[in-house]
Amino acid sequence: MSHISDIFSQHSDFIWSIIRTKVNNEDQAWELFQNLYVTLATRNLPSNIINIRSYLYRAIINQIVELARKRQRQRQLLQNVFLNLKILIKKEPPRNVSISKVDKILEFMKEELSYNEEKAIILKYLEGYKISEIARKLDVKKSTVSSYLHSGIKKIRLLIKERPGDFYE
């Protein structure tokens, strides 16, 4: 592991420059940096690496692709959950609805999200309101609604990340 620490010490500027050119979000950049470190620390680096920067570049790109896939799976799961919630709320016959998974998300939203985060998510994803309409309903600015949505979805993603077995089949 000290070998990895040495590599990160010597090449941290290079690593950060690649990550920042590929990722605009600072939270994602930190997540990538940390994932890269853990991934490299838990693997045996090949002994035949000729150019460490090329190796690091490829490892960073692989981490970016993996993060994008993970985000896509989370988005798909959230879309499915919200679609299932719509079906349940409108009392339509369920189609492959896992009620227990939907209930877990709803329970989590009630317990862990602020009232405004929960309301914004429900209005946006279940009832199909636009952000400007939600802002009028909640009597706040559009940027505040975006903040509520961002922080609420972030909390839901964290829950899914911490307990994937509860949500993925």
Residues 44-94: tens digit of each pLDDT? 888 888 899 999 999 999 999 988 887 777 777 777 777 666 655 554 544
Evaluate whether residue 132 is within a structural domain. Answer: yes
- pLDDT(37) > 80: yes
Question: What is residue 91's predicted lDDT score, i.e. its pLDDT?
Answer: 47
Continuous H helices in the chain = 2-22, 26-41, 52-89, 99-112, 115-121, 131-138, 142-162
46 and 103 inside one domain = no
Contact 132, 94 (CB under 8 A): no
Evaluate whether residue 89 is within a structural domain. Answer: no
Q: CB neighbours of 31 closer than 8 A, spacing ≥ 6?
A: 67
Question: What is residue 59's predicted lDDT score, i.e. its pLDDT?
Answer: 92
Q: Kindly state the tokens that stand for 101.
A: 């998974």
Please, what is the average pLDDT of the chain? 80
Evaluate whether residue 75 is within a structural domain. Answer: no
Alpha-carbon distance of 164 to 162, in angstroms, equals 6
Between residues 88 and 10, which one has the greater pLDDT?
Answer: 10
Question: What is residue 109's predicted lDDT score, i.e. its pLDDT?
Answer: 79
The residue segments making up the domain with residue 11 are 2-69
Between residues 115 and 98, which one has the greater pLDDT?
Answer: 115
Q: Phi and psi (nearest 5°) for 104? A: -65, -45
Alpha-carbon distance of 102 to 122, in angstroms, equals 13
109 and 162 inside one domain = yes
**CATH number of residue 128's parent domain:** 1.10.10.10
62 and 113 inside one domain = no
Q: pTM, whole model, 2 decimals?
A: 0.51
- Tell me which residue of 101, 107, 74 sits closest to 87, measured CA to CA: 101
